[in-house]
Amino acid sequence: MNHRHRKVLHGIFAHPLNHNLDPQAVENVLVDLGAEIHHTGHGATRVSLGGKQDSFHFDRHDVGTEEVVKLRRLIEAAGVDPARDYPL
């Protein structure tokens, strides 16, 4: 995982919530983590990571608050700890 992707990953887990995440950058990070991504239509994106699945609706320009929280849960459920596994 390159430095830019690590910064995005840490941005997902930032406090307070980061409202300036690029959807394409988030998808690239998920792919680097080993996720399978399927665009199902109508803006929906299905993500499978570490045996866990969830569906997201990414805006064209940023990732919404609810989606960031869902991303955190999915990544944590898959056993990824950004601070431990991907330090900056």
Domain assignment of residue 46, given as a range: 3-80
Which ranges of the chain does DSSP label H, i.e. alpha helix? 3-12, 23-32, 65-77, 82-85
Specify if 85 maps to a domain: no
Specify if 35 maps to a domain: yes
Q: Within 10 A of 10 (CB to CB), how many other CB atoms are there?
A: 16
Specify if 36 maps to a domain: yes
Average pLDDT over residues 70-79: 94
Give pLDDT, residue 28. Answer: 94
Each residue's pLDDT tens digit, 14-72: 999 887 899 999 999 999 999 999 988 787 899 999 999 999 988 778 888 899 999 99
Nearest to 35 by CA among 78, 81, 88, 87: 78
**pTM for the model:** 0.89
CATH number, domain with residue 71? 3.30.160
